[in-house]
Every structure is written in C-alpha cells, then in structure tokens.
Structure 1
Amino acid sequence: MNPSPEFIAHYWGKADPNHSDTQTWHPLAYHMLDVAAVAAAWWDVCPALRGRFIAALPKTSENHLRAWVTFFVSLHDLGKADIRFQLKAPDALAAAWRMIAKGTDHEIPPQEISTFDHGHAGIAWAATEYETWLGARDADRAIWSGWDNWLAAVTGHHGDFPKPHFEGLAALEADPALIKHDRDARRTLVTAFASLFLQPAGLSLQDRPPTCSLPARALLAGFCASCDWLGSNTGEFNYRAPGPALADYLCERLDHIKSTRMLTRYGLLAPAQDYAGLPALLGCGEAPRGVQTLIDTLPTAPGLTLIEAPTGSGKTEAALAHAWRLLTAGEADSIVFALPTQATANAMFQRVEAFAAKAYGQANVVLAHGKRDFNAGFQQLVERGQRRTRQGDEEASVQCAAWLASSRKRVFLGQIGVCTVDQVLLSVLPVRHKFVRGFGLNKSVLIVDEVHAYDAYMYGLLGEVLKNQHACGGSAILLSATLSAPLRSKLLAAWESHTASETPDAPYPALWHAMGGAVTPLTVADEHRPPRREVGIECMRLAGAFPDGDLRTRIAEAAKHGALVAIVVNLVDDAQRLARALRELVSDSPEIEVDIFHARYRFADRQDKEAATLKHYGRHALRTTGRILVATQVVEQSLDLDFDWLITQICPVDLLFQRLGRLHRHQREQRPPGFDTPRCTVLTVERDDYGVFELIYGNARVLWRTDVLLNRSDKLVFPEAYRDGIERVYQHDDWDDEPERIACDFNKFSAEQRRREKDAQQLTSMTVSSFRDEDGRITSLTRDGEMSLSVLPLTTAGCLLDGQRIKAIAERDLAEQLNLNIVPCPASWAKRLHDCHKEADGLLAGLWQLVTDEAAPGMWQSSDGQFTYSQDFGLEKRHHEPA
C-alpha cells in the first residue's frame, strides 16, 4: 500500500531553513527511500557486497536477502515519525502539516525535544508496535527476536546498537490525536515499505527475517550508515515537495543513482581491471620468485593467507597480486593495507599507488595520516556536510563530513586505503562509527604487514578483527619474515582453522592458506628458494649496551671510508645521545653526515625524516660518500633501506632478523673496502640483567636466548635461521642452561600476556560507544602502553609550532592538522606531563597540551624547562632517563 501524497506531507525528514532552493524541507518517507535506493543500487552493482551479506546471513536466497536488507535500511529513520522529533523544526512541521502549539497541542519540555534520539526511538517504537504491523500476537517474543538485531543495526545512527527500551517513550504530554497520528504514520510507513521491498521478492511482514548474527548486525550497521550519508547529500537528493507516489519516487531515485554513476563518482566503487599476472607488478625484466611463484595456485575464494618470506623477497607484491585476483573474481571490491607505524604506511603508499593504476586504472587511493588531496566526490560530501541543519550533529551529512574530513577514517571507503594497524583495530573497539570501519574491512581484502610486530594485547584485538572478517566471508592476507609457530597457530585459530600443532609444518619460506577450517601449507620449489646468505655476527658486551668510545671511533672511520652505517638502538633517549656524540666526533669531517630517526616527532616532521632516510639510505641512494644513521625500531619494518654495516642493540631474535633485512639488502657491484660481505655488530648487556630492554620487550627469556644464540656462532645462515632460530628461541620448553631467574620471569610474563589478551577481548565485547573517532584518547585503546600518549606542542600564543592558530583552523581541517602536529610518547611519561592541560571533550580531548616558547630558530622549550622540541632531534626530556 502506498500512502497518499497528503499523508507523506505531514512529516519532514530533512529541514534546512537556509537551503538554496525554495523547498526548505524534505518529506520523511522520501528521505527514507533515498537511503534505501542507495542500498539497493549499491547491492545490485557490487558482487563483493552481496557476497559479504550472503556469507554473514547464510541459508537465505540472494533475492530474499536483498529484500530484507533494503526493507530494514528503509526503516532507519522510523523514529522521526514522532512529534518530539518533528518539533525540532516547527517551521518545517507547519509547512508540512500544520502548526503544533505548546499549551494547545502538547506540553513537551524544550529539553525533551532537543535531546530526543530518533534512532533509539525507532527501535523502541518498533518493539512496542510491531504486533499491530504484523497483525499477530507474539506472546513469547519469538517474532521480535527475528526483528531485534535488524532494527538495532539500522537505527544505531551514532555507531552503537540501541536497546529496544526508551524511558519515557510513551509518556507524552500531548493531544491523544497527535499520538495516534504518529502511531498510524509509523504503521503506514512500515507496511508501505514492505510492499516496495518485500512483496516483489514474495515476502511479507508475516515472514520471519533471517537470523541476524552479531557479525551480520555490524556489517548491516556499517552499510546502512554509509548509505544514509550518501542519501543525505542534497547535491544528489534534493529536497522535494510531496507529489510522486512512493513507488514512482523510488524508481526515479534508482535511475538517478545509476545514470549519474554516483557510487563511482564518490570514490566508493570502481571496477577492477582483469588480473594481469604477478609479473605486471614487478620491475622490467624481473620474474616471480620465492613465494610469489605460489600465488596463482591459490583459490580465488575468501580465506586467510599467511605469507612467510625474507625481507626484500617480494611479499608485498605477492599479497597485492592475490588481492587483485580476488578483486577480479568479485570476492572483494577494495583493499585495506595495514602497517605497524605511520612511517611504514607512508613508505608503502607510493607502491600501492602504482599498483592501483594497474589494478583499477582510476581509483580512490587514500593514505591515513597523510595530507593528501580528497577524491572530488569526498570533497563535495565534506563541503555540503559543513552546513548545519535543524538536526544539528545528528544530521547524517554532518557525520559523513566529519568522517571523511579525517584521512584516518576515509581509508575504509576508498578502493585502496593504507593505514596503521591501529585504524583496523578500532573496528572492534567501543568507538563511534566503528561499524563503518568494519563494513569497509569486510568488503575489502585486509592486508596486515609485519604481523609479528605486535604485543599480546594487540593480538587480542587483531584476533577479533579476523573473526569478524571470517564471519562475513571476507579475506585477509598476513605478511611476516619472522613468524613463530605459536603466533601462526593463534592467527589461524582466530580464523577458526586448524592450529599449527594440527597442521603439517612447511620449510621456510612458506605460504599458508586457510579456507573452510582447513589449512593448506604451500612450499617453494627448490629452484625458487632464496639464495643462501651468511651474515657475520660480532657480539660486544658493553655497559647499557651503548657504543663506547672505541666503537664510536670505528663507526666514524667506516663512514669516512664511504660506508653507510646504521646504529639501531631501543630507546629514543639513547638515539638522541648517540647522535650528538657522533656528530661531535666527526665534526672535523664536514662531508660526513650523522642523521637521526625515531618515533618521537610531530608527524609532519617525521614524514620529512622518513623521506630523508629513504633518500640517503634507500635502494636508489647515491652512495658517493659515507653517512651514519642513528635510529630506533622505526627502521626495522617495511622500509627499503640498504646499509653496509649494521650495529644494533640486543632485541628479540625475530626483530633482530628484521633489522638484518636492512643489511646488504640489495645486490651491488661494489661496497666500500672491508664491507663487501654483510656484518652485524650486536651490542648486549654485560650480565644477564637486561634492565630497561626487558621493560621494552617484556620477555627477558627471549632476550637471553637471543643473546646466547648469537654468542654460540660468529655467523647466521639464512634462510634456515628464519625458521630454526626463531623456533628455538620461542620454544615453550626450558633450555638446559637457562637461569632460574629467566625461567621465573617468563612465567610471570606469560601470565601477564594472557591477562592483556583477555583484557583486549573483553573490551571488544563492549557495545557502548565510549570514544569519538578523533578523540586523542583512542590511541591507548589499540596500544597497550608503548607510545600511547599523544602530546601536542603549542606556543604560548595558542598556535601550533608551524604558526597556525588552532582557533583559526577550519573545522573540517582541524582533525588532520592536529594529527600532523601530535608527538607520540610512552605511557610512562604521564607523570612527567601532569602539569599539561588535557581536555575531556572536543577535538582536543585526550591530547596533552605542552606549552612551549621558541628558544632558538627551529627549537622550542617547555615553559617548565623539562622538555625541548626540534625538527632534528624531536621531543627530548631535559634529563635523559630511560623512556
């Protein structure tokens, strides 16, 4: 049944008194159909989207599933058919129907009107009235159990699942005729939309919808929110006066979406080119090698793929090739590439851009944490969303603008997004609009690089991400050069596949593919295995594992002889102290540069540091003079660097092997004299007390075993060491000569790891949206301690260090600008920063505001004198203590 235009005109759904057209309000029924039309059009043109819903809601035909999805999406704003919502814009209500006067028609307090939550009301009214819609009694609430999750998904406008209870819902101080008018309107809308969406598929309101699991509910919530954002864009869906019947209006909107290629214009959809084979991703004259030779043997079906291969062996190209195959097969429509740090994400972006040109031709490629140009469609959505309507912050277009204004979030709505793993983990945490992230991931191939590089807490979160991806029929590809068997088992278990103990082992390098609960290990043919590589090992026991005068002299002499030398330390304070000492040592040789690179910079400065590091030490560096880089762990992941000599402080064996991947990374015709073969100097402590290093890595046993392993031989042989060394160090049983203290510490460490993982999993079970996406506090949700504080250096005049006054920055640019100016710091700094101002709400919430004065050009000092910041050395404590 289609209600008459007169009835439609009684309710407004969108209202803007400053709208450019003469029509300043939009009928509620029309807006509900705008959003449903986006959902229907998106469904019809996107096989990957259909596949995710079919996997999440099995045992339902595709035709029936489309009907239920579009029907429930159309009900997303059902709660607006309530006098309290309608009174938010009394002028629109008067134009749509008639003036509703306080004292005559109602006695509703103004605060009850302004705080009325139409999303929450929508599901609450449904729970109260659905029996009249169905014309059936539901004594045991069995019918409602089929509706509950569906309605919770589509009415959760603020990224949460509302409960079907609303205190004071029916306690309306209003004319009974008004209350009945609203009740009749809700019933008429539901039955009208059932005739539009359910009836063509042979369904009716009396049919039970498919059981909506929690992963399916999250998928639907993200999809509905995205459709609502698009359907609220007045550039596409202009305000219309009542007139066309609902069926005619729906057809008109569907035709508009299709004929104008709206989804493509907004960067949400782009057809992938046919898969051209892995050689298309390689350089001229290069052929697939190692694990790359296995990619085309994988099934083009959703699953989990684990790729274990040495650094520099082409894992990235292998992952992108398999993702491309899935895109071509319609099993995904996008890719989300997650990396450990912002620096590694930046380094990956150019490679992914080149891939996008081949896989898509024209694609919407978005770098999180980067000041990149908007997709033109994204730009329009942001601009239109800046206009405030009568709904205020509840307006879908406003929420869309806020989302897309931050590159950290819009990575989930393009064809290819490159981000840190934190952004992926937020999809399972109690953060507003997390379901949009989850929806973006579900329809994408999720690629996680350096998957060994996280702690137990983060693995607890990543496991939940993988579970959701698996439940919705998605795909994930995990990459690592140094994956231990226990970790491999944990990741496979999250995909509901066999653990490593039930799966035959495979020689390194290997590829593991999980699909349907079974795991298939694939091994590389002998002719494609990596060449044998020997790395000379020199172990030095020094106080604090810090380079002494003799070693610093050797480093300086090596640079003077043309070597590119890297010293990788575990503490930023050590890096800052060592860089100063080496600069003083080579002060008589101005041709020798000493660079420093770590994580404690404003991101804008870190980008410059990263670019300089790649320029001077990367694959295509000029290498005409020697140079020294002092760095922390930021160089051990995903950066294509090539050093002649590597010095490193002791660290877990898997991370040590990552660092070794930057030593003689590329074949070169000539290296400086004395550095023609790869050699690494490992600095370790004088006794088996690892002190602050144990605090950093948590696991004293792994440090001790790595130490022992390195001291037993003067060389490491790869690729054998990747499997043998890592499995030996991480084996569960005690070593015969293991000190009792080390074994006891490991037991404490293991218990703590289990606790942290459990804490992470419990946090994902929360449904309350406790944090805003842009809240500075959310970093602490994804990182359990290390670098989890966000410090914002400011001048006494209230400006960022680049001179921008915060209050003068446009609202749409503020989140991005704050991100570029934040310095990550360890949680242990909280006591040092206790005097810094930290706001509880707003865009600055959770940021420690460090007030500074410019002490010298390019250098700022905090007002209390405890900190300095410079573009060269980053944020420094005045007194160097372990961080």
Structure 2
Amino acid sequence: MSVASILNSADQWRASRSAQANALWAKSGNEDAYLRLPQHLIDAACVAEWLWEHWVSRSLKATLSQLWGLEEEYVRRLYCFLAGTHDVGKATVSFQRLVKDSPRENVLLPPLYDVGLSLDWPQGEGPDRKFPHGMASALLLRQWLADRDVEKMRRVAVSSVVDAHHGFTSDAQGLANFAEAISGRQSCFDEIATEFLDSMAELTDIDEVLEEIDFGDVPVADALQLMTGLVIMADWIASNEKAFPYTPLHAQRQRLEEAIAYINLPGPWIPLDVPDDTVDLYRRIFAWSDGFQPRPVQAAVVEAAQKTQGPALMIIEAPTGEGKTEAGLAAAHVMGQRCGAQGVFLAAPTMSTANGLFERTANWARRSSRQGEVASMFLAHSKNRLVTTFESMRFSGIGEDGQGSDTGQGEGAVVATQWLCGAKTGVLSDFVVGTVDQVLMMALQARFSMLRHVGLAGKIIIIDEVHAYDTYMSQYLYRALEWLSRYGVSVILMSATLPPSQKKKLAAAYASQLIEDAENAVEVLDTEGYPLVSVVDATGVRATDVEQRPTDTEMTIHHLDDSLSELASTLTEQLDDGGVGLVICNTVARAQEAYRELAGHFPGEAELHHAAFIAASRSDKEDSLREQLGPSAHRGGLRPWRKIIVATQVAEQSLDIDADLLITDIAPIDLMIQRAGRVHRHHRPATDRPSKLQSPKIYVRGIETRIPVPRFDGGATAIYGDKLLLATLACLPDVFRRPDDAEGLVREVYSSQLTIPEEWADAWDVACADDKKKRDRAEARAKTYRFPSPTYAANLSDLFSQLHSNTETVGGEERGNAQVRDADFTIEVVAIETTEYGYSPLVGDATVLEGMEPSAHAARQLAASTVRLPARMTRREVDFDQIIDELEGQTPGEWHTSSLLRGSVALRFDAQGTATVGRFEVSYDSECGLCVLDEVPSP
C-alpha cells in the first residue's frame, strides 16, 4: 500500500458514497453552509495520513508499534481507519435530529427527506434518551468488528478509541445499556454507517491489521490512550472551518494542501548530528566562545547520555552554579538525536522560573536544530500571552530560506504557530517550556488527557528543581514517570539537593516499567558521591561520581531571636558599611511584616518580593532585581551600595541574585541550602562587597523558643511540619562549606537513623507521628484523581473513572485540575480600580468606559493585572461560594468577548486601594502587594 494511497483515492471514495450517505450533515456553519458527513470523514482520514508521515516522530511511531504489537505500517493504517470512522455515530437519528425545531432545520434536514430517509425514532433511540455520537460511533464500530469475527475484548478495546474522541470514555453502564437497547435492530441509518465502515476499511486496507490484532495481545490503556490522542488531533484539524471550508471548492489533494498550509504545523525536531567531541557539542548548541570548557558534571552528563541503551532516566545532582540546565539540554540533544524524539519539554517549578528559561531554551533549540529546519515552540502556563518573548514568537514569520528572521547562520528556526498555541494543543509543539504541573497532569484523570500524553510521549522530558515537590505532588510525579517509561520516553531530573530516599523512589517509579525487582535495583543509588549522575535504563541502574569543584565559600551560621527589633538591629549592624542583605520568610504575611519594619529603618533601601503582587508588577520587580544583583552588576554601577531584599520562597528558585548576607526563616535543610545558594553566588571583585561581609554569613530565625524543646513559627510548622524542622535544627552546623557539605547534610537530615538531642525525644516522637499522618493523608488524597499505573490500566475507561463518578457541579474536573498541587483551591482575580466613568487596571495606564469592550491595549494590561487571593479567604466552602458570586457580579460583562479576559473575574478597588469581598476587607499597594486588612469572624 503506497504512502499516499488514501489521498490518491479520496475523491473517488467520496464520489462513491450513496445518496443517503451524502445527505447526512456533520457540521453546521453560518448561514446555509454545512459540511456533509462523508466529506468530514475523508478529511479526517487524509489529515491522519499527513500527520503520520509529516508530524509523528520516529520515536512515537516506534512506541505505538511496540504498544500495539503491530508493524509501523499497520499502526498507520489503523490510525487512518479510526480517524476516518470516528464520527460514524453521526449517521444516527439522534444526531441528525439535533437541529429539529432550530433555524438550521430547513437547511440541514430536507436533503434527508429528499433521499427517502425518515427521522422517526428507531429501536433504542428516542426523545428521552441521550445518545452521544461518540458512544454511537463506538457501538456501531463494535458491531461491525463483531461481524468480521474480531474477538470481543479486542473489538471493545479498538472501538473505545472512537468512543473517547471527545476527550473521555462513555460511562460503562451507559454503553452497556445502549448496546442492549439497539441490539438486533434493523435501521437504514445503521446501513449507512456500515457503508462508511466498509468503504473506509477498503480504503485503508484494514483487514490485515484486524487479523494481526485478533492474533496478538488485547490492546490496553497505554496503546489506546496514544491512538485516541492522535485521532483527536486529526479530528480537530479536520473540524477547523478555516482550514477545511464547509463548502468544498477543490479536489481533496488541493483541499488538504490548503488546510495544512493554514494550520502551519512544523514537523518533528531534526537535531544536529552529535559531534564526537563533547566540547564541540557545547560550543555549537550554546554558542560558547573558543576556550570555554564544560564543567566536569556537564561533560559527565553527555558521556552518560551516550552510553544509555534505549529510553532512560537520568538524575543530575550538582550544586547551584554548575550549569545543570545546559547539561540537561545537552543530554536531551544526545538522547533525542539517537531515538528520533519529537522535541523537548523543560519543566520548571514556577511560572517565573519557566519565563526565565524560555528564551534560553529557544536559543538552544535554534542552535541544536539543523540549518533550514523549522520547529514549533510553546510556553506552557496560563500567563504565556503576557510574556513578550513568547508573544513575539507567535507572530514571527519564516524567511524564504526556511529560517526565522532572528536566527544566526547555520541554525534552525523556532516559531509558535496559531494552532499550537491553544491551551490543549500547546503541549504538541516540538519544544515546550512550562511549569511542572503540565507534566504532573499526565497522571491526572482529566478530559483530553490523551492529547497531553501524545505531546509528551515523543519528547525528552527535563524536570528542574525536582527536590521542590512535596509528598502530594510527588505521588503524581511517580505515576507520571511510570507512564513516561511505559511510552519509552527518556527523562532528565535535576536538583542541587535531592534526599536519597526521594531519589530512589523516583528511580524505582521509572524502573518499574523497564526492569524486574526495581525496588531492589535502585538501592545502588544510595551512594555518598556528589555531584552525581545516575542512570536507569533497560540494562540496569548505575551512578557515576563526578569530580567536585573546590570549596567556593565557607558560611558561618548564627541564630537570631525572632523579634522584628532583633532583625532590624542585626541588619543595621551588619550593613553599616553597605552591602546587600537577603531576608527570606516562609509566608507572605511574615514577609510583609518584616518589610514594614525594615522599611522604617532603611528608607528607600528595602524591597519586598512575594507571590501576592500583581503579575505584571512582580515580573518587572524581579527583572529589575536580577539586573541590579546579577553577575555583571558591580558596586558603583548597577549594584546598589546598600539594599535589603525581603522575599518568600520565590527567592529559592526564581531569582538569580547574589547577596552578601542571608537571614532566613528555618526550613528543611535542602531548602536552606538552596537559599544559601543566593549568598556569594557570583564570583566578583572584592570591592563589590563591604569589608565586614567579605566572608558570607547566614542568620536563622523563625524559632520562637529553643530551650528545652524548639518551638517554631506557626507558618513554618504549617508548611513543612515539625519533623523536618527539628531534624534540620539538630544537624545545622556552625559553618557550611559549599558545595562540600550539601550532600552529607541532606543525607543526614533525611536519614531514618538520625540522632536528635535526648530532651527532644517526646516532641520528636509526636512530630514523626504527625508527619506520617500528613504523608498518609496526602497519598490518599492524591489517589482521588490520579491515573492508575500503566501496569494495571487494562481499559481506556480506567483512566476516566473519576470523571464518571464525580457529581460536583463546579466542577469535579476543574477541581481535579488543581489536584496536582496540595494546596487550597484559590481564586485569581483581575484587580481593577473604579473610576468616575469606568475602571482601570490597578497597574497600568489604560482606562475603560463602563459598558464598553476593552481595547487590545487595555485587555492586555487588565490580563496582566492579576493577583491570587490568599487561601484563607476561600478555604471554607461558604466563603468560596460567596466570594465567587460577588466577584462575578463585579466583572464587566464585555470581558467574555476578549480572548485574554474571557473566564476571568474582577475585584474592584477604590481610589485608596481597598476592596471588600465576602467577609474580608483587602488592600493593595505597590510596596506590600495584597493584604487582608480585616475579616468578619466566621459564624
């Protein structure tokens, strides 16, 4: 069967359909335009064929072939057949009658009557029975397969793909009830459906494939999930009216060519060949100048990548400043080039870190791609339209030579095409930078999860700061690693401070799909080396100790009374000759409190950073801070003589800044080390630092009492739990040598054999019991919406069981989407200020008259003026419901027409920056961000 056989025969196939088949409508447009069902089916089949040949990567084809137990050519035929029959359920009275008593009835139904079709209800259908066309497609295909003697379990599995083409499977009981209701009936519509199935089977030459399926193992959820995602992709493209007009004007070949040109879907990544010399690789893909050498860990990572056998998990543990991001991308290049990967997904812990990595990754993607090749790129989080570098990429053209206008000689190009910039389609781009949630949601039961699986299954996945994920999020990460391993996806995990127990769990999750007795196999990773590069592949588990850089600094650690006066006096003493002090607090409220105190002592020299600032302001503040405290800023220039930064945990990961002094709330040791990485971070002239702070110092606060047993600030206890805080305090040294002490301290704090002071014994036992309860609860909660392991997911319906059983009206699914982080369900608002004649964004110069649609400029400023309400405001369901109702009432109705504002809710502030919602009064100002001023006590 030739590659283009479906397209070559498409016009003949369509012309050969019966008058009754051609009378059926599939999609209704404006005025009298509509798309006939045969045209939509052949469009989808042709798109599937094009996608297989031009978009599906070599690695994804191999994965599908392995999971289905079929040759790649047979998988191609099956894909085209299922895409070409996915809407056969529209050949039913239930679907055709959807336009009854509507303005479209007089256009869409007369052609049916003209060919003698009656819309009287047949057996099993009726006005009181909803018969979704996805379910109808599945049952019609299932019966057709039965007539071809395909074994029952196999025909149920194959038909579940078309059943789920709207993003989830039908309820099993509903399917069974309808199957029984229509069994044995005689219907002219069923005869039309059989015509479609018979003719599409002949067109795609599917009979040999069905024989192979009947002979092999029953397809299970992994194979079905990926196939469904590809069918949905073909259906969505074929359903795009601008790509495939509802009034066909051309032969199918021209129709397809024009549609593909409109969709503008670049093919898979084609990387440069990997040079023999590791130094040459780094210089090429990162534009390093001659003489610039990769660090030992960077060289070790490339060497390890070259030795992997098939799909692999790589864990890179190295201190901050070792270039782990570049190492991970270099490893992805090597692994991707060997397996024919679609591209790379780089996952960061927060939006801010993702934004910071986007341009760096885009530059790497251009340099790593062959000259003249074009790849697609996407920034995967909800605020991507506000990121200038991504937004400009969405509108960049491709030059005549196939390169983007901003690429250098010898590079490929990356573009963000319109079709691939959707919330659900973005992950299908070749290169994606986003928050880790986008990967964790691979293990989340949610509608259209199969598109996410297709998007990730062909890529190399890089996850940064992997230590940052708590017990709850880790459950999703473990399960995602199982599915990625099952799909043959290579994964690279990076961390500066990864507890050994966590590392082994991550490795065991991935290894579970590759090797026997994974739990025991990963024990070899319990080694004391640092930096360390660990690998899991089909040949086993191994770890490589890497040469450690020399000690770059020794930090003395001091303890500080938790009073604000002590905080201020310490900074006054230490910064009397200037310098940069970094104060990290565990909560926003605590950071605001510290800032107010310090702003009075250091007027104009204190600055606050946390997540409760309006999005645009937070980004601007962080950009300014990086510029002032980055590696190229020096005292007497951009680096200020004296400055105090008060921040929350955003400083652990998002801010590449260099302070002279750190005062930090107590936190788990791995996070303390991360925070210490912001002190004396950059090599700089001695003149950049005051003489008193030539040697770095760390002060630890947040401990309310130390004797006889430590009692911690309530915020620290709520976030981290007393067990880790007690363990950290017990192990905290007087001097921290970086990087020498990092691995040993993390290992000691997280050890099950930790020795703690005798007088803490009772408190330690209570803390350990509380920690176990919290972990058990987190693991139990995580199971609610989490996918089953691919080992035990037999049917496609196993991946959507919660969507059928959940009855919450706001959305079981919407709430489920928040399940990958163990956090209270919070509300993001657009902060606006009421003016005399309308409103303005709280940050920005745009004005909007009440009742008028916002201009593009105003909409962009409004979309950037978002802030998330504190969790305590919406933790109680009664508060949540009341606040949502009030916010919806404050939201201008005209926002529903704006792509940037649709679905947002507004919180209206007065000219003094205060607002009331529910039982809370809040304020906002540019110095402190959002604050809760007052609340009426709960009834």
TM class by smaller structure: 0.7 to 0.9
Comparing 433-442 with 112-121, greater Cα deviation is found at 112-121
Equivalent residue number for residue 388 of structure 1 = none
Equivalent residue number for residue 265 of structure 2 = 266
Residue-pair matches, total: 823
Distance 1:187-1:762 versus aligned 2 partners, 3 A rule: same
Asked if 1:490 is matched to 2:505, the reply is yes
Distance 1:620-1:756 versus aligned 2 partners, 3 A rule: same
What TM-score does the superposition give when structure 2 sets the normalisation length? 0.79
Residues 35-63 of structure 1 show CA distances to partners (whole Å, capped at 9, x for unaligned) of 22222222223313313313433x32222
Distance 1:107-1:231 versus aligned 2 partners, 3 A rule: closer
Amino acid of the residue matched to residue 50 of structure 1? K
Q: Following TM superposition, by how much is the alpha carbon of 1:457 offset from its aligned partner in structure 2, in angstroms?
A: 0.9
In structure 1, distance between residues paired with 2:241 and 2:905: 38
Asked if 1:303 is matched to 2:312, the reply is yes
Asked if 1:465 is matched to 2:480, the reply is yes
Comparing 8-17 with 642-651, greater Cα deviation is found at 8-17
Amino acid of the residue matched to residue 861 of structure 1? A
Equivalent residue number for residue 692 of structure 1 = 714
Aligned residue for 1:720, secondary structure, equals coil
Equivalent residue number for residue 370 of structure 1 = 384
Distance 1:787-1:635 versus aligned 2 partners, 3 A rule: farther
In structure 2, distance between residues paired with 1:643 and 1:794: 35
In structure 1, distance between residues paired with 2:244 and 2:262: 11
Equivalent residue number for residue 410 of structure 2 = none
Partner residue of 1:597 out of 569, 589, 609: 609
In structure 2, distance between residues paired with 1:267 and 1:806: 42
Distance 1:502-1:104 versus aligned 2 partners, 3 A rule: closer
The aligned runs of 1:788-827 (5 Å cut-off) are 788-791=826-829, 793=831, 801=842, 808=853, 821-823=866-868, 825-826=870-871
Distance 1:438-1:806 versus aligned 2 partners, 3 A rule: farther
Equivalent residue number for residue 229 of structure 1 = 236
Asked if 1:854 is matched to 2:910, the reply is yes
- Is the Cα contact below 8 Å between 2:357 and 2:433 reproduced in 1? yes
Partner residue of 2:819 out of 770, 781, 787: 781
- Is the Cα contact below 8 Å between 1:13 and 1:25 reproduced in 2? yes
Distance 1:114-1:413 versus aligned 2 partners, 3 A rule: farther
Equivalent residue number for residue 877 of structure 1 = 932
The aligned runs of 1:191-206 (5 Å cut-off) are 191-199=198-206
Asked if 1:74 is matched to 2:84, the reply is yes
Equivalent residue number for residue 617 of structure 1 = 629
Segments of structure 2 that go 5 or more residues without pairing to the other structure are 1-11, 276-280, 397-416, 513-517, 788-798
Partner residue of 2:95 out of 82, 85, 95: 85
Equivalent residue number for residue 401 of structure 2 = none
Comparing 424-433 with 285-294, greater Cα deviation is found at 424-433
In structure 2, distance between residues paired with 1:603 and 1:779: 21
Partner residue of 1:512 out of 512, 534, 539: 534
Equivalent residue number for residue 557 of structure 2 = 538
In structure 2, distance between residues paired with 1:435 and 1:814: 32
- Is the Cα contact below 8 Å between 1:268 and 1:413 reproduced in 2? no
- Is the Cα contact below 8 Å between 1:837 and 1:850 reproduced in 2? no
Equivalent residue number for residue 567 of structure 1 = 583
Equivalent residue number for residue 439 of structure 2 = 424
The aligned runs of 1:103-122 (5 Å cut-off) are 105=120, 112=127, 116-122=131-137
In structure 2, distance between residues paired with 1:752 and 1:231: 48
Amino acid of the residue matched to residue 314 of structure 1? G
- Is the Cα contact below 8 Å between 1:302 and 1:331 reproduced in 2? no
Equivalent residue number for residue 751 of structure 1 = 773
Partner residue of 2:163 out of 151, 155, 162: 155
Distance 1:108-1:825 versus aligned 2 partners, 3 A rule: farther
Equivalent residue number for residue 13 of structure 1 = 26
Partner residue of 1:64 out of 74, 90, 112: 74
Q: Following TM superposition, by how much is the alpha carbon of 1:330 offset from its aligned partner in structure 2, in angstroms?
A: 4.3
Q: Following TM superposition, by how much is the alpha carbon of 1:378 offset from its aligned partner in structure 2, in angstroms?
A: 7.7
Q: Following TM superposition, by how much is the alpha carbon of 1:539 offset from its aligned partner in structure 2, in angstroms?
A: 2.2
In structure 2, distance between residues paired with 1:151 and 1:456: 38
- Is the Cα contact below 8 Å between 1:25 and 1:239 reproduced in 2? yes
What TM-score does the superposition give when structure 1 sets the normalisation length? 0.83
Partner residue of 1:279 out of 276, 283, 286: 283
Q: Following TM superposition, by how much is the alpha carbon of 1:724 offset from its aligned partner in structure 2, in angstroms?
A: 0.7
- Is the Cα contact below 8 Å between 2:314 and 2:533 reproduced in 1? yes
- Is the Cα contact below 8 Å between 1:225 and 1:436 reproduced in 2? yes
Q: Following TM superposition, by how much is the alpha carbon of 1:867 offset from its aligned partner in structure 2, in angstroms?
A: 1.1
Distance 1:508-1:412 versus aligned 2 partners, 3 A rule: same
- Is the Cα contact below 8 Å between 2:606 and 2:644 reproduced in 1? yes
Segments of structure 1 that go 5 or more residues without pairing to the other structure are 381-400
Residues 576-601 of structure 1 show CA distances to partners (whole Å, capped at 9, x for unaligned) of 111121111123xx5xx211111122
Aligned residue for 1:187, secondary structure, equals helix
Amino acid of the residue matched to residue 432 of structure 2? G
Asked if 1:323 is matched to 2:361, the reply is no
In structure 2, distance between residues paired with 1:607 and 1:311: 23
In structure 1, distance between residues paired with 2:258 and 2:419: 25
Amino acid of the residue matched to residue 170 of structure 2? P
Equivalent residue number for residue 922 of structure 2 = 867
Task: Report the identity percentage.
Answer: 25
Partner residue of 2:884 out of 821, 837, 853: 837
Distance 1:806-1:320 versus aligned 2 partners, 3 A rule: farther
Equivalent residue number for residue 45 of structure 2 = 36
- Is the Cα contact below 8 Å between 2:269 and 2:375 reproduced in 1? yes
Amino acid of the residue matched to residue 728 of structure 2? T
The aligned runs of 1:383-422 (5 Å cut-off) are 409-422=424-437
Q: Following TM superposition, by how much is the alpha carbon of 1:462 offset from its aligned partner in structure 2, in angstroms?
A: 1.1
Partner residue of 2:743 out of 715, 723, 733: 723
Amino acid of the residue matched to residue 266 of structure 1? L
Distance 1:186-1:296 versus aligned 2 partners, 3 A rule: same
Residues 130-170 of structure 1 show CA distances to partners (whole Å, capped at 9, x for unaligned) of 423x1x3x7xxxx1311223322333233212246448748
The aligned runs of 1:568-587 (5 Å cut-off) are 568-587=584-603
Asked if 1:662 is matched to 2:678, the reply is yes
RCO higher in 1 or 2 (8 Å CA, sep ≥ 6)? 1
Q: Following TM superposition, by how much is the alpha carbon of 1:854 offset from its aligned partner in structure 2, in angstroms?
A: 2.1
Comparing 442-451 with 729-738, greater Cα deviation is found at 729-738
Distance 1:570-1:312 versus aligned 2 partners, 3 A rule: same
Aligned residue for 2:39, secondary structure, equals helix
Distance 1:757-1:742 versus aligned 2 partners, 3 A rule: same
In structure 2, distance between residues paired with 1:225 and 1:623: 53
- Is the Cα contact below 8 Å between 2:62 and 2:72 reproduced in 1? no
Amino acid of the residue matched to residue 76 of structure 1? H
In structure 2, distance between residues paired with 1:567 and 1:166: 59
The aligned runs of 1:120-139 (5 Å cut-off) are 120-132=135-147, 134=148, 136=149
Distance 1:193-1:376 versus aligned 2 partners, 3 A rule: farther
Amino acid of the residue matched to residue 930 of structure 2? L
In structure 2, distance between residues paired with 1:839 and 1:208: 60
- Root mean square deviation of aligned Cα: 4.1
In structure 2, distance between residues paired with 1:377 and 1:198: 42
In structure 2, distance between residues paired with 1:191 and 1:215: 27
Distance 1:104-1:715 versus aligned 2 partners, 3 A rule: closer
